[in-house]
Structure 1
Amino acid sequence: MNVSAINSLALLNMATNEIAQAWFMQTCTAEKWCINMVKQRPFSNIQALTKQATKQWNTMTIQDFLQAFSGHPMIGDLSTLREKYANTKALAINEQSGAQGASEVTLKTLQKINLEYQQKHGFIFIICATGLSAKAMLNELQVRLPKSTETEIRKAAQEQIKITLLRINNAFSRPKHKG
């Protein structure tokens, strides 16, 4: 079995530790969180899995948060999304769909302010972008840019777990391949 074959909770529960860890890395790139999630198996249902995901996330350190943040493309940088994160494509495909239809000016502004944010805070802007327009993401970025780094790490960590939970739920709600 390989990572792409895991399309049910039963398969995730049966997977080797190595395959399960690789699967969890698609949902969140904080290695310690992934290791902890593998140890929590088997999960009785999706609710138990997502509850444990949140519980384990709440035990992470700032370094774990930063490691997870580094697993994201910069909002608005769709070429990075396509190239660097091809392995998470199936689970993350619609996360920045609001940026895909944005004007060039909005995308350039998103990128410019995100670079300012990264220089100030030491990591890229993290937001659960599903369902948000590029303009809404830009507005939130502008609101969050002046905040303290400590505040932003906490806010980004809250956004990260939302993203992780969406990816977990999406993984098991995709149509199953018949083969």
Structure 2
Amino acid sequence: MSDAQFVQIVGAVYEHSPWVAERVVSQRPFASAEALRSAMRRAVQQAGEAQQIKLVRAHPELAGTAAARGEMTAASTSEQGGAGLNQLTPEELARLQSLNARYSEKFGFPFVMAVRGHDRQAIFAAMTQRLNNDRDTELRNSLEQIDRVVSFRLNDLISG
């Protein structure tokens, strides 16, 4: 495939951030999906804090306004739905919105979690616990969670 096709297809595993694929396209061919994921992870690590924060901010809040307006990517919609975030009770939604607001206010970016394989209670627990962290720790946690999301999405892309 062309460089542009690669960036369009593979770049989609990072939420609204094709720059990651753009930074690794010249390293093709990759020996495996893991080699590709590792190259993209290195690109994110080397990007610098401002670009990393922009990457984290490209992710929607869990069950946030983008979800309510139907503006999330298909992958995010599926992942959040799989975790039951599209079936919250009014009380759970209010709790999640409060946690989202507190988290965003404290850290300056949305809470990111690879929700695949987790239920609502595990997500609430993780959000509550992570609110106790400092900003540097949370930026690292968010990038680690993004890497997990990318791993799932890349595996889906390749196996699909």
Aligned residues: 157
User: Is residue 2:45 matched to residue 1:58?
Assistant: yes
Over aligned residue pairs, what C-alpha RMSD do you find?
2.1
Task: Name the SS for the 1:43 alignment partner.
Answer: coil
Corresponding position of 2:136: 150
Residue 24 (structure 1) shift: 3.2
What is the Cα deviation at residue 110 of structure 1? 0.8
Alignment of 1:1-179 (within 5 A): 14=1, 16-28=2-14, 29-77=16-64, 80=67, 83-86=70-73, 89=74, 91-96=75-80, 97-98=82-83, 99-174=85-160
**Gap regions ≥5 residues in structure 1:** 1-13, 175-179
| Percent identity for Structure 1 against Structure 2 | 20
Per-residue CA shift, 1:12-32, capped at 9, x if unaligned?
Answer: xx1x22232222331114454
Preserved CA contact (<8 Å) 1:106 1:135? no
TM (normalized to structure 2)?
0.85
Give the Cα separation in 2 of the matches to 1:146 and 1:92.
Answer: 26
Shift in alpha-carbon separation, 1:82–1:172, aligned structure 2, 3 A: farther
CA drift at 1:81: 7.1
Q: Which runs of 5+ in 2 are unaligned?
A: none
The Cα of 1:133 is off from its aligned counterpart by: 1.0
Instruction: State how far apart, in whole Å, the 1-side matches of 2:135 and 2:37 are.
Output: 28
Q: CA 1:81/1:104 → structure 2, altered by over 3 Å: closer, same or farther?
A: closer
